[in-house]
């Protein structure tokens, strides 16, 4: 519907426009979910997602003595929590895989190297 054809009393046309927008949004969401599954379906992708969650400090307490600093940290956490929500809703099994891989990588990094 163009601006020229817009009529606020044509409820059928308004509903059709809403439905068209919703359908496009559903298609975009489906593509996003496919892309996300692909990303977390590969170990390098899971490492990137885990790194983003770590950088957002999703698993840490946001309290800081400065209100400005705490606001900044809380903003980062909010974005990280949105990412975590996507992981848990789209590919929940990948979250446990990421935790296990991060744990194993951490153990390998802490092991003394024999020379």
pLDDT greater than 80 at residue 115: no
What's the rounded Cα separation, in Å, for the pair 54 and 60?
9
pLDDT greater than 60 at residue 33: yes
| Residue 3: per-residue pLDDT | 59
What's the rounded Cα separation, in Å, for the pair 65 and 21?
45
CA 3 to chain centre: 35
Yes or no: say if 94 and 86 are a contact pair by the CB < 8 Å rule.
no
Yes or no: say if 88 and 95 are a contact pair by the CB < 8 Å rule.
yes
Compute the average pLDDT of residues 13-25.
79
pLDDT greater than 70 at residue 1: no
The size of the chain, in residues, is 115
Yes or no: say if 84 and 96 are a contact pair by the CB < 8 Å rule.
no
User: pLDDT category, 112, cuts 50, 70, 90?
Assistant: confident
What's the rounded Cα separation, in Å, for the pair 53 and 99?
11
* Residue of 80 and 14 predicted with greater confidence: 80
Compute the average pLDDT of residues 62-84.
95
Compute the average pLDDT of residues 87-106.
96
Provide the 10 A C-beta neighbour count for residue 79.
Answer: 14
Q: With residue 48 as reference, give the H or E element that holds it.
A: helix 43-55
| Residue 25: per-residue pLDDT | 86
């Amino acid at each position: 519907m163009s601006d020229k054809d817009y009529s606020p009393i044509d409820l059928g046309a308004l509903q059709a426009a809403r439905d068209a927008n919703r359908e496009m949004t559903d298609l975009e969401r489906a593509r996003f979910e496919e892309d996300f599954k692909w990303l977390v379906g590969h170990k390098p992708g899971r490492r990137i997602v885990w790194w983003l969650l770590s950088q957002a400090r999703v698993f840490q307490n946001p309290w800081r003595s400065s209100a400005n600093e705490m606001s900044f940290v809380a903003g980062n956490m909010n974005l990280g929590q949105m990412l975590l929500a996507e992981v848990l809703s789209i590919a929940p099994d990948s979250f446990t895989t990421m935790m296990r891989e991060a744990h194993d990588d951490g153990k390998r990094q802490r092991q003394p190297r024999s020379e």
